[in-house]
Chain A
């Protein structure tokens, strides 16, 4: 029974990791920009959901729907002001890392200034409930987060693989210059991808608010896991991020029970290192693709 519980808890934790990493991977896969402020958009999403909950009594699961379009606008503004001016110039990759790192400090300190460093947590009706499936306990809030992650993954996969827009996005991610020659508006695809990437992590912020508190530097803790998940799964590989999240989640939970909770992350990073030695491109990575 404990084995099943470890698996269940690990999968739910992995779902949270995967949910947070999807946007990061999408932006990297298409634009080749490493968004260092990724965790801070998550933090903004958490704050937005917090204020919608405390001010207007909107459940974070509902506010996620409001947050998504709002964060697309925020993503567009950031893309135009911070990322776009650096694209196509010398040392684009390094400069965008530095620029988004700068953005990270701006966002954290802006939130600190506006909302102070207080921890903001919410209490949903019914408190910490769970589903009991044959003696295996599934946290309700984490199960919702996991299901939403799955829905997002399927929706994104469908859009990328079965729509004209998706084909354009894939084309741009595979060969930017050829895409231009084929008449694809690359700037538009870049802007759209960045907006969706930011909106997805904003949405993730709302979904995880019932589980974690919001505070200005909360994104930093999630950033590390997101980067590990994305690299483990394969850079730019969408399904890889999902798989990477689940593996890290299960390894951390199992290591916590059988070895020591303190060393759980050591084990997950060890798995990460082993995978990189054996498959440097990550589990499902086949070069830069979506």
Chain B
């Protein structure tokens, strides 16, 4: 029996270890394949790291496909500035920070890649950013949104999109902007609103939750629930019971696909209702979430770092064409429209790198290297119409770090112009509803009676 127990303990340890790493798959390597070229020769050569297997594989693969399509589109026109074809290497980070860090180190030391693009998850981004700093290799981070990523003062990591805490603050700002309407319907001033903040407990969810909390406190709202949960949980009934007891006017929710869908289902089962529900990107903006909750997705508000289905005239004419071209190509290749929160967002940032950073680096120094790209990034100053992310581009430097307005932390390598947008589901598709300059549709602030979570206040 002792031996049996020992075996079971061994098995249990193995299962726990596997659940922590959330498993992985085999390494994948693909791409254009060119090695670094002769000195002086311009060779646009990058490494792409994404979680192609493991827990984040679904969205990691989507991002990877978007980056690849961006490179394909540009290479058809001759590459960067129409004359330097882009070549790349790919590594699979297996949804694991340690694997990501060792794979990227291998790319840098054995392949001599000067620029790394990708990450997807904040945890992986943090590990990769440390490696890039050590080897003075540029990391163009695409969706590691956690606030902590750029707080180390690292000089080689850059993030175009807004950080999680700003997403959290944006949902509160939006409610404050609707103060008159809220008063009319609920009969309450902003200061009297009861707010519940519920988020997954990873670095991303925690940062959004902190943003929610700081902004709600600043606005004088009454925070009645502030609760974190593990995104791998199989049951959210305890959170929902707390919410039922607290009777909030507003629920600010942050999670991933499975827990997000679980929340909607269990709320309906337990009879939880709320007048205003705002979710924050992550799982709530992707197709798998829509499939999981069906019609219940309609009128759900989400905060994203990109405007979904935005008014196109907010972009330059050239970008409008690029936007349409990408949508058409993606739809033809994959049979569905690209999700703006995932694929368009990854495409937009890669496109920005290859059409703004890379040409400027080559023009300024005659080479494509980590240092030349870094110099180019630091000299960028673009208007919002020049980026498909819907915000201007100007990065903070070690000499002039960016102090974020929500939590007051200092960030190096952050796009200080980055914004967050309120999107809303109509017929299963997300449309930007706030701020107005990108909005295609009028927002529906209070959940209508078609939602099982509706408190029925605005019907």
Chain A interfacial positions (CB closer than 8 Å to B): 2, 5-6, 9, 13, 16, 28, 32, 34, 36, 93-94, 97, 101, 104-105, 108-109, 112, 116-121, 123, 127-130, 132, 137, 139-142, 211-213, 215-217, 220-225, 227-228, 231, 235, 249, 252-257, 260-262, 264-265, 280-281, 287-288
Contact = CB atoms under 8 A, between A and B. Distances in A.
B269 A129 contact: yes
Given A127-B295, A217-B55, A256-B235, 17 more contacts: A5-B270, A6-B238, A9-B237, A16-B234, A34-B8, A97-B14, A104-B23, A108-B25, A118-B288, A121-B261, A128-B268, A129-B268, A130-B270, A217-B54, A221-B19, A253-B238, A260-B227
Contact of B12 (A129, A227, A260, A261): A227
10 contacts: A13-B235, A34-B11, A94-B10, A105-B25, A109-B53, A119-B58, A121-B291, A137-B270, A212-B234, A261-B227
Interface residues of B, number: 61
B288 A224 contact: no
B11 A227 contact: yes
A133 B109 CA distance: 64
A261 B11 contact: no
A256 B237 contact: yes
Contacts of A141: 269
B57 interface: yes
Contact of B292 (A16, A213, A287): A213
B186 interface: no
Contacts of A117: 53, 57-58, 60-61
A184 B288 CA distance: 50
Interface in B194-244: 201, 227-230, 232-239, 241-242
B25 A261 contact: no
A281 B2 CA distance: 10
A28 B295 CA distance: 43
B333 interface: no
A271 to B, nearest CB: 15
A5 B270 CA distance: 9
Contacts of B1: 281, 287-288
Contact of B25 (A112, A118, A130, A255): A112
Nearest to B198: A261
Contacts of B261: 121, 213
B48 interface: no
Main SS class of interface, B: helix
| Interface residues of chain A: helix, strand, loop or mixed (majority) | helix
B235 A252 contact: yes
Contacts of B266: 128, 139
Contact of A36 (B15, B238, B242, B268): B15
B26 interface: yes
Contact of A211 (B25, B265, B271): B265
Contact of A228 (B12, B53, B230, B241): B12
Most A Cβ at <10 Å: residue of B4, B18, B54, B233: B18
B139 to A, nearest CB: 24
Interface in B131-168: none
Contact of A264 (B18, B238, B289): B238
B99 to A, nearest CB: 14
B257 interface: yes
B396 interface: no
B10 A97 contact: yes
A260 B268 CA distance: 22
Interface in B247-295: 257-258, 261-262, 264-266, 268-271, 288-289, 291-295
B57 A112 contact: yes
Contacts of A213: 257-258, 261, 288, 292
Contacts of B288: 118-121, 213
Contact of B238 (A211, A256, A287, A288): A256
B258 A212 contact: yes
A280 B230 CA distance: 29
B382 interface: no
Nearest to A215: B58
Contacts of A130: 268-271
A171 B242 CA distance: 49
Given A105-B23, A130-B271, A280-B5, A222 B235 contact: no
B129 interface: no
Contacts of B26: 109
Contact of B3 (A93, A140, A264): A93
A256 B225 CA distance: 13
Nearest to B237: A9
B309 interface: no
A149 to B, nearest CB: 15
Interface centre among B16, B23, B229, B269 (most CB of A within 10 A): B269
A142 B237 CA distance: 12
Contacts of A16: 234
Nearest to B256: A119
A287 to B, nearest CB: 6
Residue in B54, B61, B234 whose Cβ sees the most chain A Cβ within 10 Å: B234
A127 B294 contact: yes
B242 to A, nearest CB: 6
B300 to A, nearest CB: 15
A254 B57 CA distance: 33
B454 to A, nearest CB: 14
Given A97-B7, A119-B288, A288-B4, A223 B18 contact: yes
A262 B23 contact: no
A267 B292 CA distance: 30
B229 A261 contact: yes
Contacts of A249: 235
A139 B25 contact: no
Contacts of B291: 119-121, 123
B268 A127 contact: yes
Interface in B38-76: 53-55, 57-58, 60-61
A228 B266 CA distance: 24
